Structure 1
Amino acid sequence: MEVEIATIGGYEEVGRQMTAVRAGDDIVIFDMGLNLSKVLIHDNVETERMHSLDLIDMGAIPDDRVMSELEGDVKAIVPTHGHLDHIGAISKLAHRYDAPVVATPYTIELVKQEIKGEEKFGVQNDLVKMEAGGTMSIGDKNELEFVNVTHSVIDAINPVLHTPEGSVVYGLDKRMDHTPVLGDPIDMKRFREIGREGEGVLCYIEDCTNAGRKGRTPSESVARRHLKDVMTSIEDYDGGIVATTFSSHIARVKSLVEFADEIGRQPVLLGRSMEKYSGTAERLDFVDFPDDLGMYGHRKSVDRTFKRIMNDGKENFLPIVTGHQGEPRAMLTRMGRGETPYELEDGDKVLFSARVIPEPSNEGQRYQSEQLLKMQGARLYDDIHVSGHLREEGHYQMLQALQPQNVIPGHQSMSGFAPYVSLAESQGYKLGRDLHATSNGNRITLVE
């Protein structure tokens, strides 16, 4: 059976992930993502009203023209998890393919919301839920499997396409967390089994985000302890405390909500994406929040809440807000610019339970946001966080578990591939032979 990989998006940057695997006449697309930084550098861009061709020209979504060169039929579109760099282009591109979107329940719900907000295209693809550990047939000879992984969003998986020539494991995005705050640990047992079943692993496509960092990525339980230590240390402060984190990081939001209560403050979630991700997780029973936890996304509702906080006393509340990357229209950025009823004062604490995504526009926006907050006298607590991506030792463990015949680094720029290429070469792989560093729009033939 012929097997080839089309590397469509996310092989020259962090963002707009999209990869297609053709096995015989069957094609599976993994991820259809958005590069948010390409959108944020433009003022007041509303992607839901834009044509896909304009977004492709901006570099915001994958250029999927290479798909016309693949001889076969798309049988499934499979997003690995609910981050926008993996699902944000589904509403713009999925309607071109007569195939269902297959994902875990939480991811499907987020995809459904993306499609509902789309104003340019009518996306009629079936949305099919499959749990981690589940399988489905792809044509007559191939099978799709979901393996549970841990990441900075709940209900994440690594999909595996089993073919007669061996398995293709799509390894974006994960860390090895054996003590997660929410959900099940990463299923390393299943990865080891896949590495030794049948023809083994024909190809492993790997996320290289932290490949140059030594050691292993700590568990989310480590971030939870760090966060508790910080919040306990400022428990006696009688002014304003504000926290920000990734809206999609439900485990972290859960910890912030619980520790707010422990230090005698009422938590409240503010911002559209904060309301969307946490509200969806609670509705699907992935997390159990207090009954009286307020979640407000609409601008007027947020401002009313800020007024209530100012009237009742900032010392009684913990606003958990959007804006950890300094996004121009997010809550924390507006607070820094003095555009909300919440008044920051000298000595107020702002907790960043997130790391800056290492991309120039993000770093610039975050720097500007921090300066605005400092000008108002805020004290910043930075990097109360652990990454959602593997470091060196995790990568070694995955290669050992899967023993893949071919490796394709992804989820990075060309310079970002370098540490992973060195790591893979130390394990016996050779660039140009079985280690394939590639760019967007390319095809790699594994079996002719």
Structure 2
Amino acid sequence: MEIEIATIGGYEEVGRNCTAVRAGDDIVIFDMGLNLSKVLLHDNVETEQMHSLDLIDMGAIPDDRVMSELEGDVQAIVPTHGHLDHIGAIAKLAHRYDAPIVASPFTLELVKGQLEGEQKFGVDNELVEMEAGESMLIGEECELEFVHVTHSIIDAVNPVLHTPEGAIVYGLDKRIDHSPVLEEPFDMERFREIGREGEGVLAYIEDCTNAGRKGRTPSESVARRHLKDAMQSMEDYSGGIVATTFSSHVSRVKSLVEFAREIGRQPVLLGRSMERYSGAAERLGKVDFPGDLGMFGHRKSVDRSFKRIMNEGKGNFLPIVTGHQGEPRAMLTRMGRGETPYEIEEGDKVIFSARVIPEPTNEGQRYQSEQLLRMQGARIYDDIHVSGHLREEGHYKMIETLQPQNIIPAHQNMKGFSPYVDLAKSQGYKLGRDLHVTSNGNRIQLVE
């Protein structure tokens, strides 16, 4: 069977991930993501109202025109998890393909939200829910399987396309977490089995985000202990404490809510995306929040909450807000600019339970946000976080476990690929033979 891989997006940058695998006449597209930094460069860009071609020209979504060169029919569109760099372009591109969108329950719930907000295209692809551990037929000879992985968002999977020539493991994004806060541990046992089954692993497509960092990525339970320690150190402070984290990181939000109660404060979630992700997780029973937890996304509702906090005393509340990357329209950035009723005063604490994404736009915006907060007297508690991506030893572990015949680095630019390339070469892989460093819009023929 011919096996061909089209590297559509995410091979020259962090973001807009998209890869197509053709097995014979059947094609599966993994991820359709957004490059948020490209959107943030432009003021007041509303992607929901824009045409896909304009977004492609901006470099904001994958240029999927290479798909016209693949001889076959798309059988499934498969987002791995609910981060926007993996699902943010589905509303713009999925309607071009007569294929279902197949995802885990929480991811599918977030995809639905993306489709409902779309204002330019009508997307009527069938939505198919599939749990980790389940599989479905692709054409007559292939099978799609979801393997549970742990990441900085719940319900993440690594999809595996089983073909007569061996398995294609799409490895974006994950860390090996044996003690997560809300989910089952990383399913290393299943990866071991896949590495030994049938023809083994024909190709492994892997996220290289932290490949240059030594050691292994700590568990989310480590971040939880770090966060608890930091918040307990503020227990006697009577002024304002504000926390921010990835709104999609429901496990971290859950920890913030719990520890706020422990230090005698009422938590409240503020910001559209904070309400969207935590609300979806609660509806699906993925997280159990207190019944009186407030979640407010609409600007007027948020400002009413801030007025209540100021009236009843900042020392009684913990606002958990959007804006950890310094996004211009996010809640914490507005607070730093003095555009909300919440007044930051000398000595108030701001907890960044997130690391800045290493990309120039984000780094610049985060720096500006922190300086605005410091100018008002805020004390910054930074980097209370663990990454959702593998470090060097995690990557080594996955290569050792899967023993893939071919490796394709992804989710980075050429500079970001280099540490992973060095690691793969140290394990006997050779550039141009079985280690394929590529760029957006290319095709790799694995089996002719």
**TM bucket by the smaller chain?**
over 0.9
Question: What does the per-residue CA deviation read over 1:240-279, in whole Å, with 9 as the maximum and x for residues that have no partner?
Answer: 0000000000000000000000000000000000000000
Q: Does 1:209 align with 2:209?
A: yes
Counterpart residue type for residue 168 of structure 1:
I
Question: What does the per-residue CA deviation read over 1:310-363, in whole Å, with 9 as the maximum and x for residues that have no partner?
Answer: 000000000000000000000000000000000000000000000000000000
Q: Does 1:440 align with 2:443?
A: no
Over the aligned positions, Cα root-mean-square deviation in angstroms equals: 0.3
Question: Structure 1 CA distance, aligned partners of 2:71 and 2:252?
Answer: 44
- Which runs of structure 2 are paired with 1:45-56 in the superposition (5 Å)? 45-56=45-56
- Once the two structures are TM-superposed, the CA of residue 413 in structure 1 deviates from its matched residue by 0.6
User: 1:229 maps to which residue?
Assistant: 229
User: 1:326 maps to which residue?
Assistant: 326
Helix, strand or coil at the partner of 2:394: helix
Question: Structure 1 CA distance, aligned partners of 2:34 and 2:324?
Answer: 18
- Which runs of structure 2 are paired with 1:291-440 in the superposition (5 Å)? 291-440=291-440
Counterpart residue type for residue 183 of structure 1:
E
Question: What does the per-residue CA deviation read over 1:14-34, in whole Å, with 9 as the maximum and x for residues that have no partner?
Answer: 000000000000000000000
- Which runs of structure 2 are paired with 1:18-57 in the superposition (5 Å)? 18-57=18-57
- Once the two structures are TM-superposed, the CA of residue 199 in structure 1 deviates from its matched residue by 0.2
Question: Structure 1 CA distance, aligned partners of 2:398 and 2:192?
Answer: 9
Counterpart residue type for residue 5 of structure 1:
I
- Once the two structures are TM-superposed, the CA of residue 131 in structure 1 deviates from its matched residue by 0.1
Task: Give unmatched runs, 5+ long, in structure 1.
Answer: none
Helix, strand or coil at the partner of 1:168: strand
Helix, strand or coil at the partner of 1:61: coil
Counterpart residue type for residue 101 of structure 1:
I
- Which runs of structure 2 are paired with 1:92-111 in the superposition (5 Å)? 92-111=92-111
Question: Structure 2 CA distance, aligned partners of 1:413 and 1:323?
Answer: 25
- Which runs of structure 2 are paired with 1:129-144 in the superposition (5 Å)? 129-144=129-144
Question: Structure 2 CA distance, aligned partners of 1:211 and 1:199?
Answer: 27
Question: Structure 2 CA distance, aligned partners of 1:196 and 1:237?
Answer: 56
Question: Structure 2 CA distance, aligned partners of 1:285 and 1:95?
Answer: 30
Q: Does 1:79 align with 2:79?
A: yes
Question: Structure 1 CA distance, aligned partners of 2:285 and 2:58?
Answer: 38
Question: Structure 2 CA distance, aligned partners of 1:442 and 1:184?
Answer: 36
Question: Structure 1 CA distance, aligned partners of 2:179 and 2:256?
Answer: 18
- Once the two structures are TM-superposed, the CA of residue 102 in structure 1 deviates from its matched residue by 0.1
Question: Structure 1 CA distance, aligned partners of 2:41 and 2:166?
Answer: 42
TM-score (norm 2): 1.00
TM-score (norm 1): 1.00
Q: Does 1:64 align with 2:58?
A: no
Q: What fraction of aligned residue pairs are identical, expressed as a percent?
A: 84
User: 1:7 maps to which residue?
Assistant: 7
Helix, strand or coil at the partner of 1:152: coil
- Once the two structures are TM-superposed, the CA of residue 85 in structure 1 deviates from its matched residue by 0.1
Question: What does the per-residue CA deviation read over 1:2-24, in whole Å, with 9 as the maximum and x for residues that have no partner?
Answer: 00100000000000000000000
Counterpart residue type for residue 400 of structure 1:
E
Show structure 1 runs of 4+ deviating over 3 A.
none
Question: Structure 2 CA distance, aligned partners of 1:447 and 1:291?
Answer: 55
Aligned length: 448
Question: Structure 2 CA distance, aligned partners of 1:48 and 1:58?
Answer: 14
Counterpart residue type for residue 97 of structure 2:
Y
Q: Does 1:162 align with 2:179?
A: no
Task: Give unmatched runs, 5+ long, in structure 2.
Answer: none
Counterpart residue type for residue 230 of structure 1:
A
- Which runs of structure 2 are paired with 1:225-304 in the superposition (5 Å)? 225-304=225-304
